[in-house]
Amino acid sequence: MLAAGLSGCARPTGDFDRAAPSVIHDRVMPAAGSEAARLRGEPVSTFNYTNDEKLLRDRAWALIRPPWAADWIAGTRVELARTRILPEADGLVPPERYYQFLRSERFRSSNARYDRVAADATGDAELVLPYCDVVLRVREADDERLRVLHNRTVTPVEIYDGAKARVWENRQLIDWVSEALRFRIRAYKLALAKLEIETPTGDRVWKTNVAIRTLEGQVRVAENGCVTQNRFGITEPPKTSRIYTKSGQAGPKVVK
C-alpha cells in the first residue's frame, strides 16, 4: 500500500547531481523501510551513522544510480529499494533497457550512441576508487565494533543487536554496489554488441570497448573488498584516482 503511494517518488538531486535534502526521502521513506525490513526478518540498526557511513551511502548511491543513468534506470524502483521499502532484488531493471534508451530519437547520430556508452562506462569507473576509500574506513570501523563486542563480558542486548545489524547493513550496501556495477557492465556490453550490428563504426567500437574494460578493472577492485593484491600476497588500499576532481572527492580520513 505504502509502496504504491510512493510509486512516483524518485530521490531528488541538487547541485552537482548530489542527493538533495528531503524529509520524505531522508526520514519518512527510511522509517517505513526499516519497518518493512523488520517484517521481512532483516537486521535493522537504530544506531546513528558515523561520518564515514553517511559518506558511504552517498557514494554508494552515486554508483547504484548515477546521474547519467537517470534516463534509463527506474528511479522510483531503485529508491524504494534504497530505503528498504522493497528488497534490493526488486530494485533491478532489465539490462536490455539501456539499449532501448540508446535507440530513442534523442540520439540522431550513430556515433553519439557509442559515445554515450563510453562516457557512461568512464563515469562509473571514475567513481569507484573514491568510493573504495570510504569502504576501507567503514570496514575498519566495523572490525573495531566487533572486536569491542567480543572483548566485553557484558553488553546490553540492544547495543549488541544494533552493532551486529549495522555491520550487516554496511556489508549489504557494499554488496549491492558490486551487483549494480556488474549489472551496468552487462547493459553496456549488450548495447555495444547490438550497436556493432545495427550501426557498425570501427573506431567508436574500439573506444567503447576500452571504456568498458577500464570499468571492469575498477569493479574487480571493488569486488575484492577494495583492496589490491600483488603476486607476493601483500595487500594495500587503492590510490585515489587523479581524474576524480569533481565536488565530493575524497576528504581527509575522519579521526576516531
- Give 82-115 pLDDT, tens digit per residue: 777 767 665 567 889 999 999 987 888 899 999 9
In a domain, 82, yes or no: no
Residue 13 DSSP label: B
Task: Determine, yes or no, domain membership for 86.
Answer: no
User: Residue 245 falls within a domain, yes or no?
Assistant: no
Helix (H) or strand (E) holding 235: strand 235-236
Give this prediction's pTM.
Answer: 0.76
- The answer to whether 104 and 54 are in contact (CB under 8 A) is no
Q: Residue 231 pLDDT > 60, yes or no? A: no
71-81 pLDDT, tens digit each: 888 667 777 77
Kindly state whether residue 123 falls inside one of the protein's structural domains: yes
Q: How many domains does the chain have?
A: 1
Q: What is the DSSP letter of 253?
A: P
In 3D space, the residue among 184, 226, 182, 180 whose CA is nearest the CA of residue 81 turns out to be: 180
Domain holding 191, by residue range, is 50-71+94-236
Structure confidence at residue 227 (pLDDT): 81
In this structure, is residue 162 part of a structural domain? yes
